[in-house]
Amino acid sequence: MKKIFIAAWATCTIAFGAAAQSGGLLSLLDEQYSLDRVTNAFKSPRVINTHSMEMLSPGTMDFRILHRFGEVSQGAYQLFGLDQASMRLGLDFGITSNLSAGVGRSTAKKEVDGFLKYRILWQSTGRRNIPVSVVWVSGMTVNGLSDPIGIEGVPVTFSRRLGYYHELIIGRKFNEWFTLQVSPTLIHNNLVANRLVPNELYAVGIGGRAKFTKRIAFVWDYTYVINRFPANLNYNPLSIGFDIETGGHVFQLHFSNAVGMNERAYISDANSNWLKGEIRFGFNLSRVFQLVKRNIF
């Protein structure tokens, strides 16, 4: 009887041990074949001026207020630029996890803009190891000034008001504290000032985010325009700032040498000189609303 009890106990021990080992192997397999997509590379679909690699969730709307004051170098009489301001109001929509669309209106040139944004690749680990996110953005702008041309004898047509841009964003979130992206960009203006100014501008942007705390991050973006004319008078746009997350809002304080707040504007239009103190203080405010309830299983 004693031998039977010892044999039964040994059998149960081996069985439970095998089951535990099997569970450990299964958990390792689940971990190996799971798909972990990278999120929160940026806290907003924009870095400062440029689009970021981040996308909106399906069914969400991002209401954005972009505000930029005059040049700080104007001194106390203009309250260091605070007496002057330009702004852009925007509405961005998350259609799917990989597709977004947006519209906006800027006070500069009374310009209306719209864009489509599609994620081609999503940085992930596990079942699929994808080292970077790749996002494509295409947009169109419409100059709303009563006389956008200002050239006698040249008729104002709708086509001459239009501009376009295409942007490929390649970005990587290296860890919880640092994200970097590059974005080759093409700008096309249907009408330019003279024959020396190219209709197409080619540019390369770089942007990044470095977190200080869970709610505060340092952000920057810079765009180098390859064939700008005249190069010695038009400066490349550079913006630096801080993202501050407050619940459902992302509040950003920044400094920039650009007036325009869409790709056509800050790349094509004249920018100021950082080295001469021709810098504009501004802020961006982002508030996300959930328009469609998400199904959670």
For the record, the structure tokens of 216 come out as 């505060």
pLDDT of residue 219: 96
Are 21 and 69 part of one and the same domain?
no
Cβ–Cβ < 8 Å for 163, 141: yes
pLDDT of residue 15: 43
The CATH number that applies at residue 45 is: 2.40.160.40
Are 276 and 129 part of one and the same domain?
yes
Are 112 and 12 part of one and the same domain?
no
Q: 224: number of CA atoms within 13 Å, CB side?
A: 4
Are 162 and 274 part of one and the same domain?
yes
Are 43 and 24 part of one and the same domain?
no
**Cβ neighbours of 213 (radius 10 Å):** 9
Are 235 and 212 part of one and the same domain?
yes
Burial 240-265 (b: 16+ CB within 10 A, else e): bbebbbeeeebebebbbbbbbbbbbb
- Three-state SS string over the chain comes to CHHHHHHHHHHHHHHHHHHHHHHHHHHHHHHHHCEEECCCCCCCCECCCCECCCCCCCCEEEEEEEEEEEEHHHCHHHHHHCCCEEEEEEEEEEEECCEEEEEEEECHHHCEEEEEEEEEECCEEECCCECCEEEEEEEEEECCCCCCCCCCCCCCCCHHHEEEEEEEEEEEEEECCEEEEEEEEEEEECCCCCCCCCCEEEEEEEEEEEECCCCEEEEEEEEEECCCCCCCCCCCCEEEEEEEEECCEEEEEEEECCCCCCHHHHHHCCCCCHHHCCCEEEEEEEEEEECCCCCCC
Are 80 and 172 part of one and the same domain?
yes
pLDDT of residue 179: 96
From the list 198, 138, 130, the residue with the least C-alpha distance to 168 is: 138
pLDDT of residue 99: 97
One digit per residue, the tens of pLDDT, for the chain of length 297 reads 444 444 444 444 444 454 444 445 444 445 556 888 998 899 889 999 999 999 999 999 999 999 898 777 777 777 766 767 888 999 999 999 999 999 999 998 899 999 999 999 999 988 889 999 999 999 999 998 888 777 666 778 888 899 999 999 999 999 999 999 999 999 999 988 778 888 899 999 999 999 998 889 999 999 999 988 766 567 899 999 999 988 767 889 999 999 889 999 999 888 888 888 889 999 998 888 888 876 544
Are 185 and 262 part of one and the same domain?
yes
Domain annotation covers residue 296: no
Cβ–Cβ < 8 Å for 104, 71: no
Rounded-to-integer distance, Cα 59 and Cα 100, Å:
10
Are 14 and 130 part of one and the same domain?
no
Cβ–Cβ < 8 Å for 53, 133: yes
Number of domains in the chain: 2
Are 109 and 232 part of one and the same domain?
yes
Domain annotation covers residue 297: no
Are 144 and 268 part of one and the same domain?
yes
Are 19 and 126 part of one and the same domain?
no
Range of the domain at 16: 1-33
